Chains A and B, each alone.
Chain A
Amino acid sequence: EDQVTQSPEALRLQEGESSSLNCSYTVSGLRGLFWYRQDPGKGPEFLFTLYSAGEEKEKERLKATLTKKESFLHITAPKPEDSATYLCAVRANAGNMLTFGGGTRLMVKP
């Protein structure tokens, strides 16, 4: 059974304090790892897809990296508007379905 675990569950940062969010996964044949941002009361917003170990993708203050067992979402010099829940999901084998982790709630204080 595919499993995705995100840590920490919640993270409080001061504005400008860089940190990383972790997504550990166990799947039978990774076909893609996805990062989403979700604001309270809204649908998740797609951020990145990673396919193979060593791959990296960046968007503004966010950088996602992938190894064979986990992915990191690095947040450099975060701002209060980066506060949100960040969700990680994996696609395994040939199916379309994604398995989601429980999310990390990020709070950035000014």
Chain B
Amino acid sequence: DGGITQSPKYLFRKEGQNVTLSCEQNLNHDAMYWYRQDPGQGLRLIYYSQIVNDFQKGDIAEGYSVSREKKESFPLTVTSAQKNPTAFYLCASSTQTSSYEQYFGPGTRLTVT
């Protein structure tokens, strides 16, 4: 089955620690995205990548970093510089042609205390 996987589903960290969230897709999509969702709010774009070894900042990139070494993988690191990291993180992917609709993974809920 084609799809997007994110791991882990729940993640707990102490303040001051960096943490990496995993995102893998087997849809053969070129573009991948990371969003943050806070309670009762819509999605805000953190980073996106349209091709391997290239990525761009979204609206709220401060305190986050990404890499895109493989087409299938787009890990997100939440660094200690992110002032309010507790949130629900969503990864998505899309084609670069046709309809451009994005398909989402199941999400990772990160809690930092």
B31 is an interface residue with CB less than 8 A from chain A: yes
> What chain B residues lie within 8 Å of A103 (beta carbons)?
41-42
> What chain B residues lie within 8 Å of A59 (beta carbons)?
none
Q: Are B102 and A46 neighbours in the complex by a CB distance under 8 Å?
A: yes
Q: List 25 A-B contacts (CB under 8 A).
A: A4-B42, A6-B42, A9-B40, A32-B101, A34-B102, A36-B104, A41-B88, A41-B107, A42-B106, A43-B6, A43-B90, A43-B106, A45-B104, A46-B103, A49-B101, A87-B42, A89-B43, A96-B31, A96-B50, A96-B94, A97-B33, A97-B48, A98-B45, A100-B42, A101-B42
Q: Are A97 and B58 neighbours in the complex by a CB distance under 8 Å?
A: yes
Q: Are A32 and B104 neighbours in the complex by a CB distance under 8 Å?
A: no
A46 to B3, CA, bound (A): 13
A46 to B92, CA, bound (A): 11
A31 is an interface residue with CB less than 8 A from chain B: yes
Q: Are B90 and A34 neighbours in the complex by a CB distance under 8 Å?
A: no
CB within 8 Å: A-B pair count: 59
B63 is an interface residue with CB less than 8 A from chain A: no
> What chain B residues lie within 8 Å of A44 (beta carbons)?
43, 90, 104
Interface of B toward A, CB cutoff 8 Å:
4, 6, 31, 33, 40-45, 48, 50, 58, 88, 90, 92, 94, 96, 99-107, 109
A102 to B40, CA, bound (A): 7
Q: Are A96 and B96 neighbours in the complex by a CB distance under 8 Å?
A: yes
> What chain B residues lie within 8 Å of A87 (beta carbons)?
42-43
Q: Are B105 and A43 neighbours in the complex by a CB distance under 8 Å?
A: yes
Q: Are B99 and A32 neighbours in the complex by a CB distance under 8 Å?
A: yes
Q: How far is the CB of A55 from chain B (nearest CB, A)?
A: 13
Q: Which residue of A31, A45, A105 contacts B100 across the interface (Cβ within 8 Å)?
A: A31
Interface string of A1-19 (1 = CB under 8 A from B): 0001010010000000000
